[in-house]
Amino acid sequence: MDIREELFKVQDEKYREFHCKLIPTVNKELIIGVRIPLLRKIAGEFYKTGEYEDFLKQLPHKYYEENNIHAFLIEKIKDFDKAVFETERFLPYIDNWATCDTFAPPVFKKNKEKLFGYIEKWIKSEYPYSVRYAIGLLMRFYLDDDFNSLYNEMVSKVKSEEYYVNMMIAWYFATALAKQYDMTVEYIKGHKFDKWINNKIIQKAIESYRIDAETKEVLKRYRIR
């Protein structure tokens, strides 16, 4: 199966123009213009052929959509150790927020204790999208019944000049406020972040339908002027 050929068969120029504006870190010439449902379909068909192993070794890929196909193939892997191996190999090549946020192998959620050690490593990576990915996994999988305040502490210690890392920090804490308010609000009260991250957390929390109106009014008081 020639993945690139399949991608160009379903190219959508109008969608390409629209999507390019959403991922400014990617060269427009490297975006084909294929919608996510089609990418997932192609990845699923490719996975069924059993021929995808060589594709996973062909890093770096040229096109943005090829990277997304790569991510969706990793999601299909049912063995935890193999999924982690392929994720670690792929992470340094991620160059945009969309590819970074688009995949989270179901096998990771089923093995959260084992996954956590890798998150601890990735969150300290030199690669910004590896850091973003680690924070995103904490947000997806670790803010519910088995929440531990250690997760908030880990994310609060991330210091970065990268916009897309800082945006994920804000997104994480806004979600934590919605799910674990009492153990999270102290980070806002204590102004543990710089002005931009602090106010972005509050902005996202205020936009959330999961936080009630009264709490939103309280959070507004903690904006840094």
Residue 218, SS3? helix
130: closest CA among 67, 72, 88, 172?
88
Q: Give the model confidence (pLDDT) of 115-127 as tens digits.
A: 999 999 999 999 9
58: closest CA among 66, 47, 46?
66
Cα–Cα–Cα angle for 35, 55, 20, rounded to 5 degrees: 30
Q: With contact defined as beta carbons under 8 Å apart, do 206 and 220 qualify?
A: yes
Q: With contact defined as beta carbons under 8 Å apart, do 156 and 190 qualify?
A: no
| Token couple for 36 | 């996510």
> Where are the alpha helices (H) located in 60-148, listed in sequence order?
64-76, 80-90, 97-101, 106-109, 112-122, 128-141
Q: Look at residue 191 in the predicted model and tell me its pLDDT.
A: 87
Q: Look at residue 64 in the predicted model and tell me its pLDDT.
A: 97
Predicted confidence (pLDDT) at residue 190 exceeds the cutoff of 90: no
Q: pTM of the predicted model, to two decimals?
A: 0.94
Q: Give the model confidence (pLDDT) of 18-42 as tens digits.
A: 999 999 999 999 999 999 999 999 9
Query: What is the residue type of 212?
Result: D
Confidence of residue 3 (pLDDT cuts 50, 70, 90): very high
Cα 103 to its chain centre, rounded Å, is 7
51: closest CA among 1, 97, 123, 124?
1
